[in-house]
Amino acid sequence: MTPVEFLDLSVRLGFLMVAAALGIAFIRLAKGPSLADRVVALDMMNVTIIAFCGLYALLVDDPSFLDVAIVLALVGFLATVALARYAERRFLRDKQGYDSEESGK
């Protein structure tokens, strides 16, 4: 087996693994059950799409897809931070509502 054949085989196996990870993350996104599970699933999907871009750049020997992967990584990071802030504020709002109900009794 030549190095080129080995690289081609490795990239194709990588595509299969990335597709399996994307499917598992989508199932977790659909099932939930909590907001935190869905946020982690979205983050995992973002990472797998970035890995897909990297593998595709290797397959077609075009480094421009690595730029796409970098942009996706930045956007995914910002989305994760925004969802974490939303979840934190929602948790604090729910906790304050629960505390005010207890003090009213």
For 35, residues 6+ apart whose C-beta sits below 8 A from its C-beta are 87, 90
How is domain 3-104 classified at the CATH fold level? Helix Hairpins (1.10.287)
Backbone angles phi, psi at 89, to 5 degrees: -65, -40
For 6-10, 82-86, 97-101, which range has the lowest pLDDT when averaged over its residues?
97-101
Largest Cα span, the chain: 76
pTM of the model: 0.81
Q: First-to-last CA distance in the chain? A: 76
Q: DSSP secondary-structure letter at 63?
A: T
Look-up of token digits 């087996």: 1
Structure confidence at residue 94 as a pLDDT band (50, 70, 90) = confident
Please state the domain extents for the chain: 3-104
